[in-house]
Amino acid sequence: MSMIEEAALAQLFAEARTFSRWLERDVPDGLIESALTMAFLGPTSGNCEPMRLVLVKSAQGKERLLPCVSSGNSEKVSTAPVTAIVAYDTLFYEQLPRLFPHTDARAWFTSNEALATETAFRNSALQGAYFILALRAQGLDCGPMSGFDPQAVDEAFFPDRRCRTNFLLNIGYGDRDALHARPPRLAFDEVARWV
């Protein structure tokens, strides 16, 4: 393997941005479904794949979601073509006999709720990040958000409370004219060391 092309790297990282405003351009459901299928190929601990999603697109769905988000995120959610609720299944381990069949991985979690919750949270965040980059790879733009009331979102969209929301993710074609300058990043030497 060698390095992927500069243009692809730019699309995934260097020129990609977090968007708050969206072009009035149709977002085909199939692109999002392809990106999600691709994201599920990414690695998770013991292939546990705990991420679950509600893809909020209808006016009715947006109306249910809007009271749950912070005022600063309200317009972003109402104008985004799709807002994904990125959640995790607290009982993800029920799938492990099928997803990780060569050992009894289910037993690691059935008697240890703290480990199950931490594993679901960590791995759904990993999968959410794969999803962001897979959406960008499809030519779409993203706007992830943490400013919302997670209990309210869970009540509205997961009434049996089996799933819990990790973060929200606006999806569409971003309006580059509405971007501000990119905020600074920490440098390699500030965040990593070789030993």
Q: Are 175 and 17 in contact (CB under 8 A)?
A: no
Nearer to a second copy, 80 or 140 (CB): 140
Q: Which residues sit opposite 143 in a β-bridge?
A: 170
Smallest gap, in angstroms, from Cβ of residue 51 to a second copy?
A: 7
Q: How far apart are CA 95 and CA 27, in angstroms?
A: 31
Smallest gap, in angstroms, from Cβ of residue 29 to a second copy?
A: 7
Nearer to a second copy, 42 or 79 (CB): 42
Smallest gap, in angstroms, from Cβ of residue 107 to a second copy?
A: 15
Q: How many CA atoms lie within 13 A of 100 on its CB side?
A: 19
The tokens describing 47, both together, are: 């292939």
Smallest gap, in angstroms, from Cβ of residue 84 to a second copy?
A: 8
Nearer to a second copy, 58 or 111 (CB): 58
Q: How far apart are CA 107 and CA 114, in angstroms?
A: 14
Nearer to a second copy, 79 or 150 (CB): 150
Nearer to a second copy, 59 or 111 (CB): 59
Smallest gap, in angstroms, from Cβ of residue 36 to a second copy?
A: 6
Nearest to 144 by CA among 122, 167, 161: 167
The burial class, CB within 10 Å (0-12 / 13-18 / 19+), for 119 is: buried
Q: 3-class DSSP state for residue 179? A: coil
